[in-house]
Amino acid sequence: MLNFKEEIAKLIAQQVEGLELAEIQEMIEIPQDSKMGDYAFPCFKLAKTLRKAPPLIAKGIAEAIAEAEMFEKVEQVNAYVNMFISKEAFVKVTMEEVMTKGDDFGKTNIGENKPVIVEYSSPNIAKPFHIGHIRSTVIGNSLYKIYDAMGYDVIRINHLGDYGTQFGKMICAYRHWGNKEDVINEPIKTLLEYYTKFHVEVEEHPELDDEAREIFAKLEKGEPEEVELWQWFRDESLKEFSRVYDMLGISFDSYAGESFYSDKMPRFVNELKEKGLLEESRGAQIVDLEPYGLGAALITKSDGSTLYITRDIAAAVYRKETYNFEKNIYVVASQQNLHFQQWFKILELMGYEWSKDCVHIPFGLVSLAEGTMSTRHGRVVFLEDVLNKAVEKTKEIIREKNPDATEEYVDEVAKTVGIGAVIFQELSNNRIKDYVFNWDKVLNFDGETGPYVQYTHARCASVLRKAGDDVVAKAKALENIDYKHLTSESAYDLAKMLYKFPAVVLDAGEKYEPSIVTRHIVDMAQGFNRFYHDEHILTDNEDEKVAKVALVLAAKEAIKNGLALLGMGAPERM
């Protein structure tokens, strides 16, 4: 797409000395008040070099560039050069970009196909896939889609929590109180009951803890009975998780979890020793990070067993050796900030220069009105229940508004809109904010919500159906479009929203913040709805109708592409 900032910078560069083109481009501003122009150039910085008052410099630049074809007008206001882009030229550039690129509008090749890893979701097997997991899952999925749109080769990793002492407890509980049939019928809910019962019983029978530790030690040594039970729990858990991932439209390239790295850790414990980084502390092995304000990082316990940090070091090196990543992104809750700071620092101290390419993307926590979620106490809200309730609520709304709708239509739209509502709400606020889970809020479809944006897309589709195939074909081909019909305030504002979209995607990727895309999609939807209400689109004037239908097409494409970056569908009818 034509970069107006860059073109303006080239014009200004011909009038001033002592500034590089990139520096001029950096100085160009977009005024908050559109009455001050589409772009503005402050001249304060030039006063010393040119030995003139800034308003005089601004006047000279304004007069010199005013005749350029891209401008409707250029004016000097105090020390600023205010530039108004020709509306027709601007809309033309924007429309041609959207219509030519279609599904690829918003995509760039900044990544040059370099590998980027995004690790996200990563639930613990044999435990509930609860509402708390939705944050990592949908933020990570959106970051994958954003980095894919930026031209990177993205590897999606679900680092399953499938290793650790909790599996000793789970197997112990199953042997005491479990039965196979219940686990087969409802794996996660049944295993959660066993796990909860273990933590109740251990209060009265502390010897259960010793038994669980012994079981985990056998699991680590590869004892067949323990491994068989662990593998069964893992397989049954993945079946349940897959059902939720299917509902969300999410998939992964790798499910290599913690257990995958269990045989790779001794190499790094030895490497830490060889590099003089390990110290003994009360029988345990630590890396002292006090000089960096990060405390002590525990590498192995006094009994020789390893911890998360050891596995994470092994996983990071494995990923570098396997994928040679440009970035290794971890979408994990802010609770783990210290953990990531510690092991990134250890990687650096081990001499791995690429440690700087490992990035922790923290996010705020989800809690319930009655307090923090706890699998030990069985206090959780299952994610699958949330998604199913959202779909059922949407079905009720559709049937109420459209009683003649077929069941097939209701089912299809309800799934797209209901699940989209949950995803959109998760991605609509800055990821770092904590929030309290509230059913009413999740299932509220009014205001700046996913259903509002999806309805706007469906409204675009409805306009196109009414316009007819011939008009749409002409608009798609951009045949002799008369852009003077798209210079009204609402049409021009909408075009500006569309023009910004590719830059918004890049900004979201650089800041690891999907909410930047979410907010812009709402802006585009609101922009279209203003245009829809302010303008008569399907007018009798054929030229005007084709031009306006072309803008509807462009808006529909941009909204659809934006929703796709969040992992949401764009229904044609609602």
Which amino acid is it at 404? Answer: D
* 108/346 Cα distance (integer angstroms): 35
Closest CA to 560 of 516, 514, 506, 521: 521
Q: How far is CA 375 from CA 191, 209, 238, 551, in A?
A: 11, 17, 18, 51
Tell me, letter by letter, the H, E, C secondary structure of 343-378: HHHHHHHCCCHHHHHEEEECCCCEEECCECCECCCC
- Look at strands 296-300 and 327-331 and give their pairing: unpaired
Strand blocks (E) in 435-545: 435-436
Annotated catalytic residue, options 5, 73, 133, 548:
133
Closest CA to 65 of 3, 2, 7, 1: 7
Look up tokens 């809200």; give the residue.
381
Which amino acid is it at 119? Answer: E
Q: How many C-alpha atoms does 493 have within 13 Å on its Cβ side? A: 18
Question: For residue 297, which phi and psi values (nearest 5 degrees)?
Answer: -100, 120
Closest CA to 328 of 339, 342, 344: 344
Residue 133 annotated among the catalytic residues of the structure: yes
Residue 329 pairs in a beta bridge with: 118, 359
C-beta separation of 172 from 224 below 8 A: no
Annotated catalytic residue, options 87, 127, 520, 556:
127
Residue 536 annotated among the catalytic residues of the structure: no
For helices 489-511 and 515-534, give the axis angle rounded to 10 degrees.
Answer: 170
* 499/392 Cα distance (integer angstroms): 37
Closest CA to 335 of 258, 434, 196, 199: 434
Instruction: Give the residue numbers marked as catalytic.
Output: 127, 130, 133
